[in-house]
């Protein structure tokens, strides 16, 4: 497995006896030339890769198919090579836990360019999340602009997404 990054939210500090909640996530990198299938989230004004957390006991491939279909309506979707993983430490939002450790696994995938009907979850609808094909350099520039002007309350997800956009642009698109 290829290690890609570690990111830690500035509010997370290491203390003895912390209760850590672990979560595994999967994310799809779907390319058509220099365009990448992303989710634009109006609430945060950023682009992110489709994917999300795995359910207990769920296989990575099954979870990735579920997440991508829900969020994008992608048809003709198939999972290709494993690209690697990154680790994140952030505040836990679940009672009884101090820190959330999330490992995101990234896969190179394929899908048809024409997307079907997405079936996002209620919080995704509330956040204004919509799938879009975006030129990768435009997505990087957009997220970098958001990062420069981000409020201190914004989490580290956009850092992960922007890091991976740069990684894909350099290593997969060239």
- Per residue in 32-43, pLDDT (tens digit) is 999 999 999 999
Q: Tell me if residue 71 falls in helix, strand or coil.
A: helix
- Name which of 112, 107, 89, 111 is nearest 159 in CA terms: 89
**CATH label of the domain that carries residue 135:** 3.90.79.10
What is the rounded CA–CA span in Å between residue 172 and residue 152? Answer: 32
**The domain containing residue 144 runs over which residues?**
3-173
**Which of the pair, 36 or 93, is modelled with greater confidence?**
36
Report pLDDT for 150: 82
pLDDT digits (tens, 9 = 90+) for 43-92: 999 999 999 999 999 999 999 999 999 999 999 999 999 999 999 999 99
127, 7, 161, 45 alpha-carbon torsion, rounded to 10°: 40
* Residue 170 Ramachandran class (φ > 0 left, ψ -120 to 50 alpha, else beta): alpha
Output the six-digit token pair for 172: 């997969």
pLDDT interval class at 121 (50, 70, 90): very high
Report pLDDT for 153: 73
Report pLDDT for 155: 87
- What DSSP string describes 118-150? ----HHHHHTTEEEEEEEHHHHHHHHHHHHHH-
What is the rounded CA–CA span in Å between residue 49 and residue 39? Answer: 6
Report pLDDT for 1: 74
- How many structural domains comprise the chain? 1
């Amino acid at each position: 497995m290829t290690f890609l990054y570690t990111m830690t939210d500035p509010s997370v500090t290491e203390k003895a006896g912390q209760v850590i909640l672990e979560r595994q996530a999967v994310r799809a990198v779907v390319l058509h030339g220099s365009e990448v299938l992303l989710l634009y989230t109006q609430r945060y004004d950023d682009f992110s890769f489709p994917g999300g957390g795995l359910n207990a006991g769920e296989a990575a491939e099954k979870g990735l198919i579920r997440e991508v279909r829900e969020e994008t309506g992608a048809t003709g979707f198939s999972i290709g090579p494993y690209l690697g993983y990154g680790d994140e430490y952030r505040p836990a939002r679940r009672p009884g836990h101090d820190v959330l450790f999330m490992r995101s696994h990234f896969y190179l995938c394929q899908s048809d360019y024409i997307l079907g009907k997405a079936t996002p979850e209620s919080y995704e609808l509330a956040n204004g999340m919509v799938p879009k094909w975006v030129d990768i350099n435009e997505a990087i520039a957009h997220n970098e602009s958001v990062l420069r002007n981000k409020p201190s309350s914004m989490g580290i997800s956009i850092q992960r997404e922007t890091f991976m956009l740069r990684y894909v642009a350099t290593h997969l698109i060239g």
